[in-house]
Amino acid sequence: MKNIQSRVLLVAVLVTLSLGIFLAWSNFFSKPQQVIPEIRLGDGINGPKGMAWIPGGEFLMGSDHQKAQANEKPTHKVKVSGFWMDTTHVTNDQFAKFVKETNYKTTAEQVPDWETIRVQLPPGTPKPPASVFVPGAMVFVGTKAKVNLNDYSQWWAYVPGANWRHPNGPKSNIDGKGNHPVVQVSYEDALAYAKWAGKRLPTEAEWEFAARGGLNQATYVWGDQLEQEGKLPANIWDVKKQAFPVVSPKAGGAIGTSSVGTFPQNGYGLFDMTGNAWQWVADWYRSDYFAMQAKEYGNAVANNPKGPLSSYDPDDYGVPANAPKRVIRGGSFLCNEDYCQSYRPSARRGADPYSPMSHLGFRLAKDSQ
């Protein structure tokens, strides 16, 4: 009797162990596995200097997370080929070299063109007097006290004399900020720099794949928790220290860009893929583009998508839905938990390609050779 009981017990144990091993094995192979990428940096001989190799591959683009906005949904399968990407934003020093060699004059340094402005305004808007058309750009000016966050015009203003050398207006400068992201550059300025540098703007799909750094659908480029060891791992607005968009002296004054490379790199060796300054990418912006992709491809994979053929954004109040816009990615030093959570890799917006801003820069990509 005892022998029979022992055998039954032994069989039960073996069955339990076998079942456990099978479930573990099944679970391992049924879930997407997290691949730890290898950082490969160009040195000027094996790859372009200052760039990191992005190996390409298939990933879920967009997000269905509770924090995701409608324009980030739904997730859909995308595949991108390998390419090189700048490890940092293009800096003030780098842009200065370009300007010195080409005598290039940025959009903000030129008299605004009515035809490029008109398409961003409601139909029938009368042309302002010539005195209004002066070189300048949009600047974050903040507020002196807490305000309703429904109207961003309270903390943004067109400032004559603002440009990449004077990001916040003629009295500001970039002295000692050569290693900060260049800002106040339009989409057209980014294209001009890219042509000079022998590079190009990344597509939106390439940008998101690179930003994720090998992390599968993580909420942030560094993982799923906003803070790491009690600190924000990116240059974003800390609402615990200062209410947005208050910049009064009592609140600590205005914040801005930080030197590139201040915060940890992601899995591909890229710095500041979110936070610090928004980044232009190549695609036209449609708020419904991800939904269009999901409908067109279903469970199939979109291969190296280049974006829509035109713009569409019905959610920008006072701007025609079909006004030209290019995608910007990554968020900036202004993004925060109370207003703009665009320091997530799936977050996306559209911007007027001829409108430079004090929190908007770029980085470039290059095809493999």
Give CA torsion, residues 322, 323, 326, 332, to 10 deg: -110
Structure tokens at 288: 């419904």
User: In the prediction, which pLDDT does 252 show?
Assistant: 64
Does 6 have pLDDT greater than 80? no
Helix locations, the chain, DSSP H: 2-30, 92-102, 114-118, 187-197, 204-212, 289-297
Question: Looking at the predicted structure, is the pLDDT value of residue 59 above 60?
Answer: yes
Token pair for 180: 């900060």
C-alpha 51/C-alpha 42 separation (Å) is: 6
Residue 228 is classified by DSSP as B
pLDDT band, residue 32 (cuts 50/70/90): very low
Do the Cβ atoms of 360 and 277 come closer than 8 Å?
A: yes
Give the C-alpha separation, 196 to 201, whole Å: 12
DSSP state for residue 23 in the 8-state scheme: H
Residues 6+ apart with CB under 8 A from 250: none
DSSP string, 247-292: --GGGT-------TTSS---TTS---SSSSSEEEEEEEPBTTHHHH
- Using the predicted structure, report yes or no on whether residue 9 has a pLDDT greater than 80: no
CA dihedral 177, 178, 183, 189 (to 10 degrees): 160
Phi first, then psi, for residue 183 (nearest 5°) are: -130, -175
Provide the pLDDT for residue 21.
40
pLDDT at 308 over 80: yes
Nearest to residue 202, comparing CAs of 12, 362, 24, 9? 362
Q: Which amino acid is at 76?
A: H
Mean pLDDT in residue range 90-98: 98
In the predicted model, what is the mean pLDDT of residues 346-355? 98
Q: What is the mean pLDDT of residues 322-333?
A: 98
Strand 83-86 with 51-54, pairing:
antiparallel
Which DSSP category does 163 fall into?
A: B
pLDDT at 29 over 70: no
Mean pLDDT of 155-169: 96
Write out the two tokens for 91. Answer: 């800096």
Predicted model pTM: 0.89
Peptide bond into 167 cis (omega under 30): no
Q: What are 202-260's pLDDT values in tens digits? A: 999 999 999 999 999 999 999 999 999 889 999 999 999 999 999 977 666 668 999 99
Report the chain's mean pLDDT, rounded to a whole number: 90
pLDDT at position 250 = 65
pLDDT in tens, 108-160: 999 999 999 999 999 999 999 999 999 999 999 999 999 999 899 999 999 99
Query: Does the pLDDT value for residue 366 go beyond 80?
Result: yes
Which percentage of the chain shows pLDDT scores above 90? 83
Residues 6+ apart with CB under 8 A from 158: 136, 137, 138, 139
> Residues near 229 by Cβ (< 8 Å), separated by ≥ 6?
none
